[in-house]
Amino acid sequence: MTDTLINFFTETLAGLPKELIIFIISMVPVLELRGGIVAASLLGVSIVKAIPICIIGNIIPIPFIMLFIEPIFRVLKKTKFMGKIVEKIEKKSLEKSDRIKKYEFWGLLLFVGIPLPGTGAWTGSLIAVLLDIKPKKAVLPIFLGLILATVIMCVVSYLIPWIIKSI
């Protein structure tokens, strides 16, 4: 699914500078930094350029999620159609929150940092809000999780292909 989304964005945004494409991909839920790094590698953007662009792209939505998602969800829950969707999003996010509840800082860091489906800064921020973890306490583990995800994705997207080509 991630490959399909990355292809969709790179094809749809073709003609824009590659750096802007990976920036936009890094801001999109589901893809986030992970998709941005993969797209950067596929588009031939150097790792030195890709890292800050993808990190900044993925960080930008975090304060908005942490500050505004609760009031937005409250309003949306009052509507018939969106209420069900919001409840489903909350339920799905909270299903993944056990380790975050138990280990708070480390749980949030690893949840954001380990690139698995359904994890990342967007969901980590949403879970922090739903668990009532104050933004002051949540921002550092989310940011460090992004750094961990960056390292893992750079190894997968840049280092391993380079090693394979070198053999």
Q: What's the rounded mean pLDDT across residues 28-50?
A: 94
Q: What's residue 78's pLDDT?
A: 93
The model's pTM: 0.87
pLDDT digits (tens, 9 = 90+) for 90-133: 888 888 788 788 888 999 999 999 988 888 999 899 999 999 99
pLDDT of 161 above 70? yes
pLDDT of 2 above 90? no
Helix, strand, coil in percent for the chain, rounding step 5: 80, 0, 15
| 3-class DSSP state of 60 | coil
**In the chain, domain spans:** 2-59+150-166, 61-148
CA distance 148 to 19: 21
Q: What's the rounded mean pLDDT across residues 8-32?
A: 91
Angle between helices 18-27 and 47-59 (to 10 degrees): 40
Q: Place 73 in a pLDDT band, splitting at 50, 70 and 90.
A: very high
Angle between helices 32-43 and 18-27 (to 10 degrees): 160
Q: What's residue 1's pLDDT?
A: 64
